[in-house]
Structure 1
């Protein structure tokens, strides 16, 4: 079958194209995590993110063979920076992909392509097409976890998961303050609906959406985790802590829940 190109749908959220991109990102990372900077989990988070430029999603480029995606050019929430993911069987697409990205995903005439340090071929192709290496890079921290987990919370603090009940007003306030916005968070219906949508992915595992509550009942830490049963990794996004609660043990507790869930579902 020949490879065909098309653009992503103009429709946001959980479309057929959304499923195709997700399946593609899972498939290319099955044997090993070859593209850690843009996994299926990051795609899930981005799809519902309040900062996603939905007017630009139709600029995402898709290369398909027999209806299955084999190449993906995608931006990171907004134009100007993005990722180029390709099935290793179709590396000949790389030049076409970098050219497309530079013309269609640029902002103010500039596009920053996130290309792995080990992909020398892609680096050479990018250089040939006018790109230059920089010191700017995404960093992924990998933390090994096992079943030897124990922790204690300060008196009056507790952990709540989305599976047990979730207060989106408290979640909104936690996110607002954790990302250093000034003043009180707006509490309009639109603001709360945006937060609800951010946690609406059909693949979300409610037990892995966590918050730490303070003695006065507020959410002061939030940690979202993305896990696909059968994988040997989980993706943590976001980690958000209200400023006055930073540098406390409670800011580190949520990562333990990933191991608990993973180990009981093997």
Structure 2
């Protein structure tokens, strides 16, 4: 079957979002992105890295004769490219078509440095057909992996907050406060005041994401009403899953159980909406201690000295 490539248009963001949901429903083994990452990369990461305007030019879309999406090739958009993600429909693709996707990635997404050009293609561990094609084209498997963990929503969600802390969410807490906490939690704000307004602008942007729900943007406040811990959960109602992105606790309040508490509060809220499972893009011991287990990993295949 012949598939047609098209350029990304503004309306395609939601069309691809729906494709990701439907592909998970039809075949979870495809392991395409969840809606959290699709929303977060666009409305947070690309704001932080100032790539919002140019990212659409890097997204390749292939459709069938009914204008249904069958494949998307794109970067996350948080740096100068050098990476490619493949979102694929549940179809038997020919080697010729998959090579066409690789050709696109090499032409549009390779990172060209002064001494060499490189491209990382992220592949499902069990994606043998694509991996064999990459091997033939000179790609080599790298040490790192992208991991995703999952747990069933517990029947009884118990919160254990230390004295002096309380639960709130984005209906009460402003973007400046959340942004400052994010910067402290992830280490790019070191002092008593933000070094810039980047994180605040990211949270302002995040409110515009199609799947953002303020009640699922949960924080724990200390006795001074400052953000101590936070998470945002994204709910895919079609697949009845919640996905955490991001999760953080500022250094002052770590090892107090606040991270678990803010996650449990968010799970309690999404459970009331019908969620059955919770995912997170990590396999850190912190999540495993809560009941998460590794769901799957993705491999990174790299090629250097790419010529197109």
Give TM-score scaled by structure 2 length: 0.78
Q: Distance in 2 between matches of 1:36 and 1:3?
A: 21
Residues 62-92 of structure 1, C-alpha deviations (whole Å, 9 max, x = no match) = 1012222110111122311231111121522
The DSSP-based 3-state class of the residue aligned with 1:224 is: strand
Matches of 1:150 and 1:48 in 2, distance apart?
A: 32
Unaligned runs of 5+ in 2: 275-308
| Structure 1 residue 43 corresponds to structure 2 residue 50 | no
What SS does structure 2 have at the residue aligned with 1:235?
strand
Counterpart residue number, 1:18: 13
Q: Is residue 33 of structure 1 aligned with residue 28 of structure 2?
A: yes
Residue 261 (str. 1) matches residue 258 (str. 2): no
Partner of 1:97: 101
Q: Quote the residue 2:70 is aligned against.
A: 70
Provide the residue aligned with 1:202 in structure 2. 210
Match status 1:132 vs 2:134? no
Equivalent pair of 2:249/2:259 in contact (CA under 8 Å): yes
Range with bigger deviation, 52-61 or 106-115: 52-61
| Equivalent in the alignment of 2:124 | 116
Answer whether contact 1:6 1:62 (CA < 8 A) is retained.
Answer: yes
CA gap of 1:36–1:98, structure 2 versus 1, over 3 A, is: same
Pair 205,32 (structure 1): closer, same or farther in 2 beyond 3 Å: farther
1:169 aligns with 2:176: yes
Structure 1 segments unaligned to the other structure (5+ residues):
10-14
* RMSD over equivalenced CA pairs, Å: 2.0
Q: Corresponding residue for 2:3?
A: 3
Give 1:32 shift.
4.1
Question: For residues 231 and 218 of structure 2, what CA distance do their matches in structure 1 show?
Answer: 5
State how far apart, in whole Å, the 2-side matches of 1:258 and 1:118 are. Answer: 32
Q: Counterparts of 1:40 and 1:151 in 2: how far apart (Å)?
A: 27
Q: Which secondary structure state, in structure 1, belongs to the residue aligned with residue 181 of structure 2? A: helix
**Paired positions, count:** 259
Q: CA deviation at 1:2?
A: 4.2
Relative to 1, partners in 2 of residues 1:226 and 1:246: Cα closer, same or farther, differing over 3 Å? same
Structure with the higher fraction of residues in strand conformation: 2
Report what 1:83 is aligned to. Answer: 85
Say if 1:199 and 1:81 are closer, same or farther in 2 by CA, change over 3 A.
same
TM-score by length of 1: 0.89
Q: 1:174-194 deviations in whole A, cap 9, x for unaligned? A: 011111123330465x76333
Instruction: Give the direction of change, closer, same or farther, for the CA distance of 1:258–1:215 in structure 2 (3 Å limit).
Output: closer
CA-to-aligned-CA distance 1:129-188 (integer Å, 9 cap, x gap): 2211122211112233212111221111011112x3231121111011111123330465
**Change over 3 Å in CA distance of 1:191–1:115 after alignment to 2:** closer
Q: Structure 1 residues 111 and 187, CA, compared in 2 at 3 Å: closer, same or farther? A: closer
Cα deviation for residue 35 of structure 1 reads 4.4
Tell me the distance in 2 between the aligned counterparts of 1:58 and 1:90: 27
The 10-residue stretch of structure 1 (16-25 or 51-60) with the greater mean CA deviation from structure 2:
51-60
